[in-house]
Amino acid sequence: MKVDIGPVTRLEGHLSIHTTVENNVITEAKSVGEMFRGFEVFLRGRDPLDAQQITQRICGVCPYAHAIASSYAQENAYHLNVPPNGRILHNLIQGANHLYDYLLHFYQLSALDFVDVTAILEYKESDSDLIALRDWVNAETGSKSRFPAAPFLPRLSGRYISDTQTNILALKHYIESLEIQKKANKASAIFGGKFPHATAIFPGGCTQEPNIDHIASYRSLISEVHDFIHKKYLPDILAVAGQFPEYWHIGQSRGGFLSYGLLPFGPELDSKRLFAPGVLLDNTIRPVDFDAIREDIKYSKYSSPSGLTVKEGELTPSTHKPGAYSWVKAPRYQGKVMEVGPAARILVDYRQNNNPKIKQLVDKFVGIAGITVDNLNSVLGRHLCRAISAVVIADFLLEETERIDLQAPFMAEYDLPESGEGFGATEASRGALLHYIKIKGYKIEKYECVVPTTWNCSPKDDRDQPGALESALVGTRVENPEEQIEANRIVHSFDPCLACAVH
């Protein structure tokens, strides 16, 4: 039978999955991106310095990642000399944005796939937030409303956590995390100007000077987030894993892993990064080559040529193209399907022994869970890899503030060139993010973005290979084929952002 499980909620944007289910097993899954804006077209002819502003509006969940990728691309195009403080401020802004995004993803976007909200009705203790929640759910479910306790109910049928204490603690942390994510965003906004959509990030630095007033606030906010990550976020993931251990083995993508590396240690973009870049394919790590990326469009709603490199990118929409089922293109690396995101970021780093802290954390938690490193390619693996990333990033950010030189410049000086081109590659919270800018006559001649969810939620390519998410869904057993909570859990583990994917 064929079932569309869209619109899939608790993710960014407009995603549907068209599934075929036989004997309660998904035999085919089509990832369908349902919204298009065409950034790469309307960026042409604009001032290059508009780019880090306009491209942030690709995604209001991870705008800072786009600002950073665009800034990197422009730095390359302008041949900028970036002051060390400039890069440190970029890192402080981007790193804090990752922390908020991981918390938002686990608690607001994913937790309701596992946690039983109705358990709150059994709450008998004295926490004021939980009492308020209990009384509200009670009043709602007792009212005549046809949809009581929305948006937390109704929900899909399936098994939820049965242990009341675990549920109640998770609900408490759902509420608390909303306060903590604000602290991470306040921290990044100190140097970004505001969140979402920072105005203070530029190629070569940011316009807010780092002084003790700013740095002390930043450190204090990040310390609170750091504590929450250790005391609540990590334990909560392990608690969910304890109740749903089968999800270490569900949702496995069938391709390679790609990461561009995150948070450079020095002002030069080829500096060693906190998370190493690389391509992990057939158990072998290779360096990233941007020219090995091609975007197929056989099943995407475009009539422009298929298989173009990033530099060649074109975009001609064709809404009724026969056979096309998504606005998302299908990027492939040397023709291979790639998963990007937290699991890719961690695996690519781990296989290179780049960051000892990552190795130590992976080994520790793989041991606790009783799984292998390869099982990080799974629903729970992606959640765990986000938490490991959060631990590593939070520690790094606190150290990074100590490297600021209060007397030194924090913005590059520039004289914009008449022409130039450059790539900017970083890791958004959702994975490998690449921007490319080509400037001619002081204007943007070409701008291309290959975005994390473009990889993960891609449709089939020209050789009919399904995308990473599509491949992870096939073979999944679903109890209720009409609703497929299992498929929803897999989709959510990738944290799709469709505004990013299509842009």
Partner 1 sequence: MIDRREFLKMAACLSASFGITQFPGIVHAALKKIDPANVPRLLYLQGQSCTGCSISLLQAESPNAVSMITQFSKLSFHADLSATSGRQALNLIEEYISGRNGEYFLAVEGAIPWDMPEACVIGNKPFADYLTAAAKTMSGALAVGTCATHGGIPAAEGNLTGAVSLKEFYKRKKIDPLLIEIPGCSVHPDWVWKTIIHLVQVGLPELVNGQPKLFFSRKVHELCPRYHDFQQEIFARKLGEKGCLFKLGCLGPDTYADCPTRWWNGGQTWCIDANAPCIGCASPQFAAKKNFPFYRSFEQAASRISEDNK
Residues 351 to 410 in contact with partner 1, rule: CB under 8 A: 409-410
Site for partner 1 in 205-244 (CB under 8 A): 205-209, 217
Q: Which is nearer to partner 1, 228 or 275 (CB)?
A: 228
- Of residues 69-108, those binding partner 1 (CB under 8 A): 104, 108
The residue written with tokens 């859990």 in the block is 489
* Residues of span 408-467 touching partner 1 by CB under 8 A: 409-411, 413
Decide whether 226 or 301 has the Cβ nearer to partner 1.
Answer: 301
Helix (H, G, I), strand (E, B) or coil at 134: helix
Residue placing its CB nearer to partner 1 in the complex, 53 or 91 = 53
Residue 44 interacting with partner 1 (CB under 8 A): yes
Return contacts of 121-130, CB within 8 angstroms, 24+ apart: 122/164, 122/168, 123/168, 127/172, 129/172, 129/175, 129/176, 130/168, 130/171, 130/172, 130/175
Q: How far is the CB of 325 from partner 1 (least distance, A)?
A: 11
> Three-state DSSP class for 450?
strand
Q: How far apart are CA 72 and CA 130, in angstroms?
A: 45
Q: Which of 20, 131, 155, 164 binds partner 1 (CB under 8 A)?
A: 155
Stretch that binds partner 1, among 37-45, 245-253, 262-270, 349-357 (CB under 8 A): 37-45
Contacts to partner 1 from residues 316-345, by CB under 8 A: 317, 319-320, 327
| Interacting residue with partner 1 among 24, 25, 37, 121 (CB under 8 A) | 37
The stretch among 56-64, 366-374, 375-383, 427-435 that binds partner 1 (CB under 8 A) is 56-64
Q: How far is the CB of 308 from partner 1 (least distance, A)?
A: 18
20 and 26 Cβ atoms separated by less than 8 Å = yes
Which residue's structure tokens are 């242990």? 163
∠ CA(113), CA(498), CA(438), 5° rounding?
150
d(CA 457, CA 11): 12
Q: Interaction with partner 1 in 464-503: which residues (CB under 8 A)? A: 482-484, 488, 499
Of 33-41, 303-311, 361-369, 389-397, the segment contacting partner 1 by CB under 8 A is 33-41
Which residue stretch of 67-75, 154-162, 353-361, 375-383 sits at the interface with partner 1 (rule: CB under 8 A)? 154-162
* Cα distance between residue 345 and residue 385, in whole Å: 8
Whole-angstrom Cα Rg for the chain: 22
Rounded to 10°, the helix 84-103/212-228 angle is 30
